[in-house]
């Protein structure tokens, strides 16, 4: 049985979005202090300014709340490295930047989610197979 969820975007009274809860999940990726917060390791990239201009944190928080209320799973994905980035492959600029700046280190302020986008009612999952199994219906 298809379970459609209707979400109404903020400020758009005549517009709705329909989502099939059986086939949907909201994925929040890299919404971490080092990535988009003032004072984060990548602040010089302009990401914090852009995130503030676009009201990213509040928009994502409202969307996550609406999804949770509607029964759509919310999955937070964070990029986290060990101190010193041991074992990190340097095959992408993000990885090189994380190593060079000491960013996104496990247990650090920079690796934590930005305030307002903390996970709620979650279990720790360590691999994608476990995520898929946990939300399978």
Residues 98 and 81: beta-carbon distance below 8 Å: yes
CB 85 within 8 A of CB 38: no
Q: pLDDT tens digit string along 37-95?
A: 999 999 999 999 999 999 999 999 998 998 888 888 888 888 888 888 777 778 877 77
pLDDT for 82-134, tens place per residue? Answer: 888 777 778 877 778 888 888 999 999 999 999 999 988 765 555 555 555 65
pLDDT band at 137 (very low <50, low <70, confident <90, very high): very low
pLDDT at residue number 110: 96
The reported pLDDT for the residue numbered 18 is: 78
pLDDT band at 1 (very low <50, low <70, confident <90, very high): very low
The pLDDT, as a whole number, for residue 5 is: 61
3-state SS track over the chain: CCCEEEECCCCCCCCCEEEEHHHCCEEEECCEHHHHCCCCCCHHHCHHHHHHHCCHHHHHHHHHHHHHHHCCCEEEECCCECHHHCCCCCCCHHHHHHHHHCCCECCCCCCCECCCCCCCCCCCCCCHHHHHHHHCC
- Domains of the chain as residue ranges with CATH: 25-135 (3.40.50.850)
pTM of the model: 0.77
């Amino acid at each position: 049985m298809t379970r459609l969820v209707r979400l109404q975007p903020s400020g758009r009274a005549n517009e709705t979005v329909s989502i099939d809860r059986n086939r949907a999940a909201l994925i929040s990726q890299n919404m971490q202090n080092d990535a988009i917060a003032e004072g984060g390791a990548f602040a010089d990239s302009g990401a914090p300014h852009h995130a503030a201009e676009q009201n990213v944190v509040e928009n994502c928080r409202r969307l996550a709340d609406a999804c949770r209320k509607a029964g759509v799973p919310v999955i937070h994905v964070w990029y986290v490295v060990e101190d010193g980035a041991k074992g990190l492959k340097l095959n992408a600029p993000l990885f090189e930047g994380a190593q060079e700046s000491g960013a996104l280190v496990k247990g650090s302020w920079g690796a934590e989610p930005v305030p307002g986008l903390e996970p709620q009612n979650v279990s720790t999952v360590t691999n994608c197979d476990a995520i898929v199994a946990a939300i399978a219906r």
